[in-house]
Chains A and B, each alone.
Chain A
Amino acid sequence: MIIRVTDQAGEKHELEGLDGWRVMEVIRDWGLNIKAECGGALSCATCHVYVDKDWLDVVGAPSDEEEDMLDSVGDVKSNSRLSCQILCSDALDGLTLTLAPSAAKD
């Protein structure tokens, strides 16, 4: 499967994802600018992404716990998600998203 990612500098990347991986892990594994501080424990919000509006229904809504974590960043939009909470699957082949400024490494 392929994930299409636009980074904070506006550069576009096509990343090969693996079924069952978290989208955060794919982005991090490809070396893009994502801090992913807690490693997927849903405890930091430093893997914040904006999911392309065409994909929102497929990805689904964030959980209450994820919404709580999104409170800890200052650049939330209606299409904000934490990429550690999106699991790669065939249904998400072509998923398009943008890295949020608050996800950047220092």
Chain B
Amino acid sequence: MSTEITTDVVVVGAGPCGLFAAFELGLLDLKCHFIDILDRPGGQCAELYPEKPIYDIPGFPVVTGQQLTDNLMAQIAPFAPEFHFNRMINTIEKQEDGSFKVATDADEVFHAKVVVIAAGGGSFQPKRPPVEGIEQYENKSVFYAVRKMDDFRDQDVVIVGGGDSALDWTLNLQPIVRSLTLVHRRDAFKAAPASVNKMKELVMEGKINFLLGQIGKLDGENGQIDHVHLTTDAGDLSLPATRLLPFFGLTMKLGPVADWGLELNDNTIVVDTEKFQTSVPGIFAIGDINWYPGKLKLILSGFHEAALMAQAAKAIVSPGERVVFQYTTSSTKLQKKLGVA
């Protein structure tokens, strides 16, 4: 049975712009629930460059992606937004009363008057190696994650990559497979040294194979691979295989957002510059995922967009209510909401 959650606003994406939106919405007494495909807040900042310095956030001569995320989490804490991580939105349906029903792949249904899309470059999804026709095998014999280990039992498995995922699954699957070959383009690994050492021991014991190379093409039919062709320094090689696990990390794709019926412009969502509302009233888009003439993909642009969006969202959630514009420096009412007065 689905979990039903009713809230004022569903924010799609817990990156910096989404997090700051919770602050602006909170000042206007709007309750937020976040939905994010990642397992923690921060979006691209936390996933791609947590330790890299950012120099163009007003008031911070330098701040890392993780520090910015941590500060934003502290800033929105008074409004107690709720987070739902590791979720993908399946559908957004507009209801007769103008509200939205948002369903996730975790069998939750959110009822919200406003939806704010703050999904940056889209949702993080596994990188697909540039192998012709790989799509026909995906989720049948080519997998980008191990959901059920039993799918690999007694199979001829090829794992490609040199990071922790590739090494971890090499070690975890080795005891149950028929054969396992790890393929990496070089003899240097980004994975934990202990995992690399263990893998090398298994190679020495003849329990797994290690090959230097890259995937060339795949053979098979009806979604089932039978051979993986490798390009190696010593020439091309054809390897019998019934399962392939490429681990090349994550990339961002617009994904299901493209199916939500919103006007798009080159993988971004068209918005107006007064409210940052999309072509569907009640659905807003802020940050890198939106487009309007003159758009600059900067975090600070997303912050500005969040403030204007919040005013428009308030008018939808509380129609007819007069909103007096106030500053946090002088308004005791706002300071009480922030817990400082």
Contacts and interface: CB of A to CB of B under 8 A. Distances in A.
Secondary structure type dominating chain A contacts? loop
Contacts, number: 62
Secondary structure type dominating chain B contacts? loop
Nearest to B129: A74
Interface string B113-141: 00000000100000101110000000000
B248 A72 contact: yes
Interface string A93-106: 00000001110011
B49 A106 contact: no
A83 interface: no
B31 interface: no
Contact of B52 (A35, A41, A72): A41
B252 A37 contact: yes
Most buried by A among B130, B161, B188, B297: B130
Contact of A38 (B44, B129, B184): B44
Interface residues of B, number: 29
Interface string B162-190: 11000000000000000000001110101
B184 A71 contact: yes
Contact of B188 (A35, A67, A72, A76): A67
Given A71-B162, A73-B127, A101-B130, A37 B251 contact: yes
Given A37-B252, A74-B160, A74-B246, A68 B48 contact: no
Contacts of B190: 68, 71
Interface residues of A, number: 23
A44 B251 contact: yes
A71 B49 contact: no
Contacts of A74: 129-131, 160, 214-215, 246, 248
B254 interface: yes
A67 B131 contact: no
B311 interface: no
A105 B127 CA distance: 12
Nearest to B233: A78
Interface string B239-271: 000000010110111100000000000010000
Contact of A76 (B48, B131, B185, B253): B185
Given A68-B190, A74-B248, A76-B214, A37 B121 contact: yes
A75 B49 contact: no
16 contacts: A37-B251, A37-B252, A41-B49, A43-B52, A68-B190, A71-B161, A71-B185, A71-B186, A72-B127, A72-B163, A72-B249, A73-B127, A73-B248, A74-B129, A105-B267, A106-B253
